[in-house]
A and B are shown apart, each in its own frame.
Chain A
């Protein structure tokens, strides 16, 4: 019998896409190493080469069935630069923002109600058959209904701006292909106040959860780290669509600030490790050991100076006060996410009242360039699209850094932290314990292959290997 055992959790359930967790135990059942393995986009970066520049914002949506709009907009922003446009017509920028707020809202709502609420409501160790959205709806029919309607509202916003609820075509290089007609605007306005009420209720659930379980939250996947996000140019406000890059160290001091995102490659380096397809980006000046960072809703709450909508700003203040500054708790992401839902709905309401959305100047033109970078704050965090396009309008180079890649090291640390605390020294690994590991990963809302959408229907496979890679045990069930 060998010295170490290897436990695999594959695929990780209730995250978007597929992934695998391996936990290496030593002879004393102590966690030796824990890793998250992820399949990534290399194939895509090759596929896009040779395609025509205006196809890119449409093609990249196929990366992901959950946040296609983020890829669509990040690519469109990169292509704006390629067609020489730095400032969009107001109608175009506002339509794109509306689309983005709708997307972030619906993605966060999906994550919170469908993927995380079962854990938060029933506990991480609850039996598998309870930890799903159907149980949530059974126990809280009202909550379940709201989840569905809020998500539907977000999708209607996307449809109104992109033509379809999923994989539409709204943003084109230099602008947008439609404005918002009055009838659609009025239909959406009719729902927005209700959405704002419900968003605040959801925020209260997430906030109360973190506050009421503060000891557990502080002990669950909490570790100091750098946080990075876009913030608004000038005043540092939260800005999900556009801004400058800010990275704060664990104490809240800037590592870089108000950085033009076109210079991202001057501050970020991507490391490659043999056991994962996914790259490990780090901040150049801090090196691979210390330069890793986290992105996402919590990183945005940590980096934003304030929020420019009143209800979300008050909530942001409350989170900051509770945390005493920077918050490093993996589970506080749920609270941060719901603050952003409130912010998105406030922004949607503001935009729906803006007559610019009925403007007819939709596309700007400029002088052709050969390189473009688009950065956006996607639901899961910072998203970088970088392209080079030749004089024939064909893509020659593509580099994407998606949120889940930014968070790679953070997720691995969270997995290890939880594994060490909850699995080490236990004579028998229970399904509830393994779920703790998954809860840590899910808090980052990772889009593991940006592919399929699991929704609690994926089989959980646990495999134990010895050091000679012999399978010595296997357990599986359908969640």
Chain B
């Protein structure tokens, strides 16, 4: 089967072509599926699980990551439901609880995808999980870039960007299981071949990879998520207006 086909997300007919993931097809149709590790221009990793959807009907449903799961003809996908979003909110809360996120003093605030995701998913109170308050480093050794690993969510975007786009390998994973962390391939960032112009330096969804000297230069009101919920651009493709989005709940 090579031709375009149809499947359904939350009951809405969506067109897809063979090889497209559920998320790619959803994006094209103007349906937003929340995500953190996936980003346009980088290969899919399927790591954060924020994009998890249920497929195959509710009773027998399997949970899959929409960013890696290919779309199939006739597939029934459950995406924007209370149950799905509750799981996503739990995942996002856990990301807050396992790092050190002080949004009010973070220069990524207003441009941060994690913060924006918390807003979209109505994470209105502090996380229910006890804060781990890990002791992590701020690596400011590089003249143009700093890394505040307190805010890293291990999404791996920087690793993929550095390897696949910059052909460098500045970043990599170290450790296993819950101890797995993103680290630089050298004693510190200054001892890598990282450069400000690298694609890796512009993909971090949070305030971990910092472009030095740019913090707070964008006034409140002009920051990316001052203008709408995360995902609103994708939803805008379907002509769905924000007012409706906001009034959804």
A, B assembled together: yes
If A52-B140, A62-B105 touch, whether A170 touches B212 (CB-CB below 8 Å) is no
Q: Is the interface of B mostly helix, strand, loop or mixed?
A: loop
> How many pairs, one residue from A and one from B, have CB atoms within 8 Å of each other in the complex?
56
A178 at the A/B interface (Cβ < 8 Å)? yes
| B212 partner, pick from A50, A52, A164, beta carbons under 8 A | A52
B221 at the A/B interface (Cβ < 8 Å)? yes
Cβ contacts A382-421/B at 8 Å (1 or 0 each): 0000000000111000000000000000000000000000
Q: Contact check, A54 vs B221: say whether CB atoms are below 8 A apart.
A: no
Q: Contact check, B138 vs A169: say whether CB atoms are below 8 A apart.
A: no
Nearest Cβ in chain A — how far from B137, in angstroms?
A: 9
Residues of the B chain whose Cβ atoms lie less than 8 Å from the Cβ of A51: 138
- Among A163, A164, A178, chain B packs the most CB atoms within 10 A around the CB of A163
**CA distance in complex: A393, B143 (Å):** 9
**CA distance in complex: A162, B215 (Å):** 14
* Chain B interfacial positions (CB closer than 8 Å to A): 104-105, 107, 138, 140-141, 146, 210, 212-213, 215-222
If A50-B138, A52-B140, A177-B217 touch, whether A393 touches B107 (CB-CB below 8 Å) is no
Nearest Cβ in chain B — how far from A65, in angstroms?
A: 12
Residues of the A chain whose Cβ atoms lie less than 8 Å from the Cβ of B212: 52, 393
Q: Contact check, B218 vs A177: say whether CB atoms are below 8 A apart.
A: yes
Residues of the A chain whose Cβ atoms lie less than 8 Å from the Cβ of B218: 177
Nearest Cβ in chain B — how far from A437, in angstroms?
A: 36
**CA distance in complex: A354, B141 (Å):** 43
Residues of the B chain whose Cβ atoms lie less than 8 Å from the Cβ of A172: 215-217
Q: Contact check, B105 vs A58: say whether CB atoms are below 8 A apart.
A: yes
Nearest Cβ in chain A — how far from B224, in angstroms?
A: 14
A-B pairs with lowest CB-CB distance, top 9: A163-B220, A178-B219, A392-B140, A54-B215, A177-B219, A59-B105, A169-B216, A394-B140, A172-B216
Residues of the B chain whose Cβ atoms lie less than 8 Å from the Cβ of A363: 217
Nearest Cβ in chain B — how far from A418, in angstroms?
A: 39
* Chain A interfacial positions (CB closer than 8 Å to B): 50-52, 54-55, 57-59, 62, 162-164, 167-170, 172-173, 177-178, 363, 392-394
Residues of the B chain whose Cβ atoms lie less than 8 Å from the Cβ of A55: 105, 107, 215-216
Residues of the A chain whose Cβ atoms lie less than 8 Å from the Cβ of B107: 54-55, 58
List 20 extra interface pairs beyond A52-B138, A59-B105, A392-B140, CB under 8 A: A52-B210, A52-B212, A55-B105, A55-B215, A57-B216, A58-B104, A58-B105, A58-B107, A58-B216, A163-B220, A163-B221, A169-B219, A169-B220, A170-B219, A177-B216, A177-B218, A177-B219, A178-B222, A393-B212, A393-B213
Q: B216's closest neighbor in chain A, by CB?
A: A169
Nearest Cβ in chain A — how far from B227, in angstroms?
A: 14
- Among A51, A58, A162, chain B packs the most CB atoms within 10 A around the CB of A58
If A59-B105, A62-B104, A62-B105 touch, whether A54 touches B140 (CB-CB below 8 Å) is no
**CA distance in complex: A49, B212 (Å):** 17
Q: Contact check, B105 vs A163: say whether CB atoms are below 8 A apart.
A: no
**CA distance in complex: A425, B105 (Å):** 52
**CA distance in complex: A170, B222 (Å):** 12
Nearest Cβ in chain A — how far from B233, in angstroms?
A: 23
